[in-house]
Amino acid sequence: MNIALFGFGNVGRSFVKLLERQRAVYPFRVVAIHTAHHGTAYDLRGVSADTPFGPAAASAGEFLDKANAEVAVEITSLSPHDGEPAISHIREAFARGIHVITANKGPIAHAYRELRNEASFRQLLFRFESTVMDGTPVFNLVRHNLPGLTINGFSAVFNSTTQVILEKLREGLPLAEGVRAAQELGIAETDASFDTDGWDSAAKAAALANVLMDAGVTPLQVDRTGIGHLTPHALANLEGNTQRVALVARGWSTANGVQLSVKPELLHLDDPLARLQGTSNLLQIDTDCMGTLGILEFNPTVEQTAYGLFTDLVDIARSI
């Protein structure tokens, strides 16, 4: 199965390495890569470390026409304000009969209904497991294992970068040190202010609400406060010995639709959301038939994001 990549940063490089490791069993091949500043590469035998990048394709359409791929993987930088250009990349792929996988939460947060309907109309598959909690099954868990379930709300800590930053602040280091540490791990957004200002969590919250609660919201509707204002001193004063601050995302159904918030919250240490360490994430979903379900991801790295893309690819390969 031939694959075209939009974006080739931390996630893309990890994904290509994973495909190489899996090749004996899963014959997936990346045949084209399109980037913003590093040009475009095509190689029908499979792009390798030696494949040269030439001048950038003039448009996403031109790139896809030349790539000759069956699946497009959208892993460009997050744009939490409008989801572009990723939404347009996905539409260009659908228009050419190409299935789409994305780890970019922008399109799911801004245009899920339209993209889902367009894929369905064209009998194409659209998968996005890595948009929330990397490769940990969230959407696939609900799709495959929880039929007929109603999700009434959720609470989560699922921005690893802010978890890393808060740890650094607790050590007395400035916020910039935490950002640097997250960037070294390859987990920060291209623009790390999207992590610290809560945009990444807002986009994930909107994506969850759109897919699991049919909310039809965007990140712009999330009541959002980030952690950019926190200092080591302010954090120590707030937390004391029995409480922890975390950037918490919440969603809940109301008579007027789904409400969403992202805020630094002061949580008692008994709260599971307060007890996460490292880059770990926790999502709790409130359901009608299963009470509250918790999905815990221990210390994810960019490799788990790549694995989520891989599971989507296998899902598509098995379904067509």
Ligand X SMILES: NC(=O)c1ccc[n+]([C@@H]2O[C@H](COP(=O)([O-])OP(=O)(O)OC[C@H]3O[C@@H](n4cnc5c(N)ncnc54)[C@H](OP(=O)(O)O)[C@@H]3O)[C@@H](O)[C@H]2O)c1
The torsion defined by the Cα of 162, 163, 167 and 172, in degrees rounded to 10, comes to 10
Nearer to ligand X, 199 or 267 (CB): 199
Nearer to ligand X, 267 or 282 (CB): 282
Q: Which residues of 105-123 are buried (b: 16+ CB within 10 A; e: fewer)?
A: bbbbbbbbeebeebbeeee
d(CA 241, CA 239): 6
Exactly one of 1, 26, 29, 36 binds ligand X (CB under 6 A); that residue is 36
Nearer to ligand X, 201 or 261 (CB): 201
Q: Give the binding range for ligand X (CB under 6 A) out of 7-15, 163-171, 247-255, 287-295.
A: 7-15
Q: Give the binding range for ligand X (CB under 6 A) out of 28-36, 65-73, 90-98, 244-252.
A: 28-36
Nearer to ligand X, 135 or 239 (CB): 135
Is 11 near ligand X (CB under 6 A)?
Answer: yes
Q: Is the bond preceding residue 27 a cis peptide, omega within 30 degrees?
A: no
Element (H, E) at 286: strand 281-287
Q: Give the binding range for ligand X (CB under 6 A) out of 43-51, 69-77, 164-172, 213-221.
A: 69-77
Exactly one of 3, 6, 197, 248 binds ligand X (CB under 6 A); that residue is 6
Q: How far is the CB of 320 from ligand X (least distance, A)?
A: 24
Restricted to residues 106-165, the positions that interact with ligand X (CB under 6 A) are 130, 134
Helices marked H in 136-282: 139-145, 160-170, 175-185, 193-196, 199-213, 232-239
Exactly one of 78, 124, 205, 208 binds ligand X (CB under 6 A); that residue is 78
Helices marked H in the chain: 10-22, 60-67, 86-95, 105-121, 139-145, 160-170, 175-185, 193-196, 199-213, 232-239, 302-319
Which residue is associated with the tokens 């930053």? 165
Nearer to ligand X, 77 or 225 (CB): 77
Restricted to residues 281-320, the positions that interact with ligand X (CB under 6 A) are 302, 305
Q: How far is the CB of 284 from ligand X (least distance, A)?
A: 20
Q: Give the binding range for ligand X (CB under 6 A) out of 164-172, 187-195, 239-247, 253-261.
A: 187-195
d(CA 165, CA 291): 32
Residues that bind ligand X (CB under 6 A): 6-12, 34-38, 75-78, 85, 103-105, 130, 134, 186-187, 189-190, 302, 305
